[in-house]
Amino acid sequence: MPAYCPIAGTCHTLLAFPFRMPDDPEILGRCPDCDESISRVWLLVEYETDDGDTGLWAECPDCDDVVAPE
């Protein structure tokens, strides 16, 4: 356990966070296959559904596959 850490639980939470390049703060959703958060930089297509909702297709950085973020 790091000596500089006053609260072990907080440190563990921070350490568990995946180390990666800073993501765009705007998260589209999660990959239905692997549960990876997909940010807007991975957005491929944005379209309007029959219901008037906005549908999304994005590339999952983990699966390297095109998915609909949930």
Binding site for Zn ion (CB under 5 A): 31, 33-34, 36, 60, 62-63
> Minimum Å distance from CB 33 to Zn ion?
4
Judged by beta carbon, residue 28 or residue 31, the one nearer Zn ion is 31
Judged by beta carbon, residue 7 or residue 20, the one nearer Zn ion is 20
Asked if residues 68 and 57 have their Cβ atoms less than 8 Å apart, the reply is yes
Beta bridge partners of residue 25, listed in sequence order: none
> Minimum Å distance from CB 22 to Zn ion?
20
Rounded to 5 degrees, what are φ and ψ at 12?
-60, -40
